[in-house]
Amino acid sequence: LLQANELVWLTDRTPHEALPQEQPGHRQFFRLVTSKISLWFEEHSTPNPKVPLPDYVQRIQGRKFLDQDSNCSLNPKEGT
């Protein structure tokens, strides 16, 4: 588990989850997206209109979290 003021490097293929908090409190998440991503989750990411996605990035439509309402499907960028 991460402690206060810890930072870790994850790729877009690293399994991870946010666990329920034992005590109420504020927590923050931020994502720094660099080059060489492989998947773009359209419902969970805000595109930068000044930086187009590279051709090799697959756009994912639907929610990336698995639950009864999940409808995630892989769609190559050129098909959208």
Tell me the one-letter amino acid at 34: T
Specify the pLDDT at position 72: 55
What is the side-by-side strand order in the sheet with 73-75?
39-41, 58-61, 73-75
Q: What is the pLDDT of residues 20-79, one digit of tens each?
A: 888 998 887 777 777 778 888 888 888 889 988 888 889 988 877 665 555 555 444 434
Q: In this prediction, what percent of the chain has a pLDDT beyond 70?
A: 78
Long-range contacts of residues 7-14, Cβ cutoff 8 Å, at least 24 apart = 12/37, 12/38, 12/39, 13/38, 13/39
What is the pTM for the complete model shown? 0.48
* Cα-based angle 63, 29, 39 (whole degrees, multiple of 5): 40
